[in-house]
Structure 1
Amino acid sequence: MAHDVVVIGGGNAALCAAMTAAEAGASVLILETAPKAYRGGNSRHTRNFRCMHKGPLGPLVDDYSEDEYLADLMKVTAGKTDGDLARLAIRSSEECLPWMQDHGVHFQPSLSGTLSLARTNAFFMGGGKSLVNAYYRTAAKLGIDVLYEAQVTHLELAGDQIAWIDYSHGGEIHRITPKAVVVASGGFQADTEWLTRAWGPAAKNFLIRGTPYNRGVVLADLLDQGVQSVGDADQCHAVAIDGRAPKFDGGIVTRLDCVPFSIVVNKNAERFYDEGEDVWPKRYAIWGRLVAAQPDQVGYVIIDAKSLNLFMPSVFPPLKADTIEDLARQMGLPADRLRSTVDDFNAACGDQTGFHPTELDGVATSGLTPAKTNWARPITEPPFYGYSLRTGVTFTYLGLKVDENAQCSTQDGPIKNLWAAGETMAGSILGQGYLAGFGMTIGTVFGRIAGREAAAHAS
């Protein structure tokens, strides 16, 4: 059977595009590189969706305006974003939440506590895997065909349109000629050689939080043919994760949320950045890059007993010791240097009475470089705890440049039948940094746009 629309990829953006196209009357085929058990790309590991809303919406409390949302984005990206596309994503997110519910997604009641997200982020009941499974159930009801372990190897760009797609499946090469194509196959983070070309030798020490199937094959194929790109190869969503995480696919559980209540040192037992710069959902994504810049691309978190229960529990238990010196030995750090760093930090801590773990509290150090500007409490209460940190890459920002209709172009103009959605075009909006839950926003908004436009073209 020939299909009107072929969607390359099997995660959130791909599914949103496929469902939208099918509901518009198109026949749709999804080509997913991963086996069925690993379908869904990085969406399997997500937890939430950042959503603008005027007043309470679903599980979200109060309101979260377009301007506040944009200000949060501008802060983490330092203004490196396409403002028009960013506003489109933000503004469209409000209508997406009920659409998601209509397509099988269930949300948890609003969250309180250390995440500080009850107003801004809606959490999926059962996490990203449940969302992916719900969408695949809906896709089946809509008559969408899915091929797993179908790796696209080439899209033939002929003039201003994609003429055919080559993919391998079942040990054979297949060629198809759909009327419209949506690329939603993610970044290149699982290709360590490409990462190393972009970052240098340090990338060999990076861990990949997400799927091992995002190797950038389709992205490279299109860029080689002159499809316009956006973003830099060395920009990505990289966070500091537990140093004991696996090389690939560790997912969300490997993240550590303890940094705001700690000091973080490098292998020389020296602090290197303000651990209390902002609430964690707005600042966690810079720490992957910070750790990447340290010797051996590793950092070490030090906390004491009074901070242990202030953050989400870790999947691996922390190292534990009754003295700072013993903790240093367990972590392979110079004990005298760590003792000195902790003593200097403790001496710089002032009045603790305003301490508030879930909001900026101004409890700061004095006369210390780098300063800790919030949640600065002395590390004095045994037992002491430690974690190692490594750079965990979620997805890369070099991608396909799109317009407000999610359409791709060459320097000669739009490609008539090619659209992109999700992480493969997120660099259009995320020039650097990251905002918790925003990847799912981009994928949902632009997946729906791409599906709508592809179906319209096919008809």
Structure 2
Amino acid sequence: MTSPDIAIIGGGNAALCAAITAAEAGARVLILETAPKPYRGGNSRHTRNFRCMHHGPLGPLVDSYTEEEYLADLIKVTGGKTDEGLARLAIRTSEECLPWMEEHGVRFQPSLSGTLSLARTNAFFLGGGKSLVNAYYLTAEKLGVQVEYEAAVTHLELDDDRVTRVDYTRHGQTHTITPKAVVVASGGFQADTDWLARAWGPAAKNFLIRGTPYNRGVVLADLLDQGVEQVGDPTQCHAVAIDGRAPKFDGGIVTRLDCVPFSIVVNKDAQRFYDEGEDVWPKRYAIWGRLVAAQPEQVGYVIIDAKSLELFMPSVFPPIQADTLEDLAEKMGLPADALVQTVSAFNDACGDTSGFHPTELDGVTTTGLTPPKTNWARPITEPPFYGYSLRTGVTFTYLGLKVDETAQCAIGNRPVTNLWAAGETMAGSILGQGYLAGFGMTIGTVFGRIAGKEAAAHANAN
């Protein structure tokens, strides 16, 4: 397509929602996806659920999940660092998104069980994010959306208050197009580890990148350099603690470990450093990447015993196992005496465990221990003992393009008349810090649809 009405940069959930919405409004749409076709979809192919407000049961979701409760959950994890207007827009609109998703090929399944506790709040995709991405591409194709893979956008030319051209390379050739409107949905900069290191310092070189290696922030940097309004802190990101044996890039959601609430977590000196039982895991898993990043050599270690092994989602790599804590310490490279002392102090601080409930806040807490463990605190006494190493796994960064409620970008106080952004590239407009399970898909779906609608209206009028 030599002159599309709309160029959409990126090929994940937000880009696809924008493309489908714009195509249904009659626009000719071209998606420029940096990845090869087998790896299309960005981080969306690693997702598995969508956090959704609803009044009463909706699709696979049970009970209800109100706007106010959803917002309270978001404010708790972000520490209030959010744009409440945009947050409420995302939350409120999510209810209508679920049936829209079903109408466009996405299928859902009952919630996963265990530590996730999400049957009321999060709708799980049948087949995971890869199936969602494939369904959307099939729908987009039927609507006439064109896709170019291995198309790396290098520059958007801004002339005053509009984008006049898009430059990209494909198979060694340089191409230029002049769309009427542009939607940027190309993610954060997390795969550029040099950029991460500039923000975080040398510690970032030890981080693992959970998602696609293609989100390097090229378009983001290009637009910020030209004065497009930015939002967010470059050190803030969706960072979780993942299995230390995960690959450098693209390990995906399977490398996440959900055992922390039932464990103690120590650093390389075998010392605990945070409350493992602070809240249910979907509201706390995303803080652990930063916690581990602050430890020596950016590594942590999970210690559990036999009675906790079946309480969480199975890990992709088997845990390290030993019949004694001393042997476990040796296998994990930890100081044995210090680990035994830490576990002993923890065990001594545990009290009545009769109220233990693995999927709810149970108040089974330690006494006189710093830091405390405020839920699920049971002594680690039953062999064999198990351990996992933890590393910081970055999913996406929050430095991004600032948008308004129409997903439009701006320079100063002036809107860029034909530029919109959706998904992780603008998520920092809502996520100042922290993360809420499934909320990235909410942002991408809501603002992808908004951006597609607005871009199509602009293109159709011009």
TM over 0.5: yes
Distance in 2, matches of 1:224 and 1:458, equals 26
- Cross-structure match for 1:301: 302
Instruction: Report deviation, 1:111.
Output: 3.7
**Which amino acid letter does the alignment assign opposite residue 412 of structure 2?**
Q
Does the aligned pair in 1 maintain the 2:150–2:170 contact within 8 Å? Answer: yes
The aligned residue for residue 204 of structure 1 is 205
What residue in structure 2 maps to residue 368 of structure 1? 369
The residue that corresponds to 1:377 in the other structure is: 378
| CA distance, structure 2, for counterparts of residue 193 and residue 401 of structure 1 | 23
What residue in structure 2 maps to residue 354 of structure 1?
355
Question: In structure 2, what is the equivalent of residue 190 of structure 1?
Answer: 191
CA contact (8 A) 1:76 1:282 kept: yes
1:17 corresponds to 2:18: yes
> For 1:232-265, what per-residue CA distance to the aligned partner results, in whole angstroms no more than 9, with x for missing partners?
0000000000000000000000000000000000
Residues 114 and 313 in structure 2, CA contact (< 8 A), matched pair in contact too = no
The Cα shift of 1:171 comes to 1.4
* Deviation, structure 1 residue 412: 4.2
Q: Secondary structure, in 3 states, of the residue corresponding to 1:356?
A: coil
Matched pairs, number: 459
Q: Percent identity?
A: 83
Aligned equivalents of 2:256, 2:383: Cα separation in 1: 24
Q: Counterpart of 1:26 in 2: which secondary structure?
A: coil
Residues 196-251 of structure 1 show CA distances to partners (whole Å, capped at 9, x for unaligned) of: 00000000000000000000000000000000000000000000000000000000
Partner of 2:27: 26
Q: Distance in 2 between matches of 1:170 and 1:371?
A: 56
Q: For 1:320, what is the secondary structure of its paired residue?
A: strand
Residue number in structure 2 paired with 1:68: 69
Letter in 2 for 1:140: E
What is aligned with 1:327?
328
| In structure 2, C-alpha distance between the alignment counterparts of 1:418 and 1:112, rounded to whole Å | 41
1:166–1:175 Cα contact (<8 Å) kept: yes
Decide whether aligned partners of structure 1 residues 120 and 407 sit closer, same or farther in structure 2, where only a CA change above 3 A counts: same
1:7·1:31 contact (CA, 8 Å) conserved in 2? Answer: yes
1:435 has 2:436 as partner: yes
Aligned to 2:344: 343
Amino acid at match of 1:440: M
Flag structure 2 segments of 5+ consecutive residues without an equivalent: none
Aligned partner of 2:159: which letter?
Answer: A
Give the Cα separation in 2 of the matches to 1:445 and 1:110. 22
SS at 1:253 equivalent:
helix
Q: Is the 8 A contact 1:53 1:65 kept in 2?
A: yes
Aligned partner letter, 1:336: D
Q: Is the 8 A contact 1:61 1:110 kept in 2?
A: no
C-alpha distance in 2 between matches for 1:78 and 1:112: 27
Superposed CA RMSD: 0.5
Classify 1:269/1:110 alpha carbon distance in 2 versus 1 (closer, same or farther; 3 Å).
closer
Which amino acid is 2:184 matched to? V
Residue by residue, what CA displacement relative to the aligned partner does 1:242-298 show, whole Å, maximum 9, x if unpaired?
000000000000000000000000000000000000000000000000000000000
Q: Which residue identity is paired with 1:91?
A: R
1:264-283 → structure 2 map (5 Å cutoff): 264-283=265-284
Instruction: Give, in whole Å, the separation in 1 of the partners of 2:358 and 2:172.
Output: 55
Structure-1 separation of matches of 2:273 and 2:184: 40
Corresponding residue of 1:55: 56
| Equivalent position of 1:140 in the other structure | 141
Per-residue CA deviations over 1:136-181 (Å, capped at 9, x if unaligned) read: 0000000000000000000001000001000001211111100000
For 1:444, the equivalent position in structure 2 comes to 445
Q: Does 1:408 align with 2:409?
A: yes
C-alpha deviation, 1:35, in angstroms: 0.2
Quote the offset at 1:336 in angstroms: 0.2
- Structure 1 counterpart of 2:155: 154
- State the partner residue of 1:36: 37
Letter paired with 1:122: A
Q: 1-side partners of 2:147 and 2:327: how far apart? A: 55
Partner amino acid for 2:33? E
Provide the residue aligned with 1:422 in structure 2.
423
Who is 1:311 aligned against?
A: 312
Quote the Cα distance in structure 1 between the aligned partners of 2:389 and 2:380.
17
Deviation at 1:112, TM superposition (A): 3.5
SS of corresponding position for 2:284:
helix
Task: Give the equivalent residue in structure 2 for 1:168.
Answer: 169
Q: Is the 8 A contact 1:263 1:302 kept in 2?
A: yes
Residues 1:69 and 1:412: Cα distance change in structure 2 (over 3 Å) = closer
- Change in Cα spacing, 1:350 to 1:61, as seen in structure 2 (3 Å) is same
Partner-residue secondary structure (3-state), 1:233: coil
What letter matches 1:158 in structure 2?
A: D
Distance 1:172 1:323 in 2: 60
2:262 maps to 261
Q: CA deviation at 1:115?
A: 1.2
SS in 2 for 1:114: helix
Structure-2 residue corresponding to 1:246: 247
